[in-house]
């Protein structure tokens, strides 16, 4: 019985200590300090932010054609906005026929030269910036049997002409 009393007493002491260990709450003294506060006026600005979702893509590369412009009809022939000046007129002997693009609507011949690349579209020659090369006209010659492009004949203003075939 004495052991139970000790246990009970020990248990009561622990509870007593837990309950009354924080017996008095001391009031903490808080000193109010006046901190200088700067009052600032918040200004709102009306800055317009352009979203990249709605921006129109403009291709500035001068050495290659715009990959997003289709190779058909009037779209190839139209001059690119912002490109000024005239196209470089290459000597007829410097041009090399590289290939053909033929579909239901258009027949295009691809040329290259040390002066750049050129397209013959609907009988007119255009440079890599889609500018009309003045003084040139041409025609794509088709094979009568296979109906595939065989060669191209270019004619200059001076009535010089040359027939091009794809060199292998």
pLDDT of res. 72:
61
| Structure tokens, 106 | 């258009």
- Does residue 153 have a pLDDT over 90? yes
Instruction: With beta carbons less than 8 A apart as the criterion, state whether 153 and 139 touch.
Output: yes
**% of the chain surpassing 70 pLDDT:** 59
- Does residue 5 have a pLDDT over 70? yes
pLDDT of res. 85:
73
Sign of the Cα pseudo-torsion (127, 103, 66, 75, in order)? positive
Mean pLDDT of 12-27: 70
Domain range summary for the chain, segments of one domain joined by +: 73-164
DSSP for 75-86 reads: HHHSPPTT--SP
For residue 124, the tally of other CB atoms under 10 A from its CB is: 14
Model pLDDT for residues 70-103, shown as the tens digit of each residue: 666 554 444 444 455 788 888 888 899 999 988 8
DSSP 8-state secondary structure symbol assigned to residue 68: T
Model pLDDT for residues 29-50, shown as the tens digit of each residue: 556 666 665 666 555 555 555 5
pLDDT of res. 51:
57
- Does residue 62 have a pLDDT over 90? no
pLDDT of res. 139:
93
């Amino acid at each position: 019985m004495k052991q139970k009393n000790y246990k009970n007493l020990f248990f009561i002491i622990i509870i007593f200590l837990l309950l009354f260990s924080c017996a008095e709450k001391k009031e903490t003294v808080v000193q109010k300090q006046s901190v200088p506060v700067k009052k600032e006026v918040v200004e709102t600005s009306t800055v317009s932010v352009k979203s990249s979702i709605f921006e129109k893509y403009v291709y500035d590369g001068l050495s290659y054609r715009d990959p997003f412009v289709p190779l058909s009809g009037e779209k190839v022939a139209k001059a690119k906005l912002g490109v000024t000046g005239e196209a470089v007129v290459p000597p007829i002997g410097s041009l090399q026929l590289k290939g053909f693009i033929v579909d239901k609507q258009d027949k295009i011949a691809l040329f290259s030269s040390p002066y750049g690349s050129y397209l013959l579209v609907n009988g007119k020659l255009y440079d890599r910036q889609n500018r009309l090369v003045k003084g040139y006209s041409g025609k794509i010659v088709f094979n009568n049997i296979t109906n595939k492009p065989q060669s191209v004949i270019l004619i200059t203003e001076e009535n010089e002409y040359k027939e091009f075939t794809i060199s292998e």
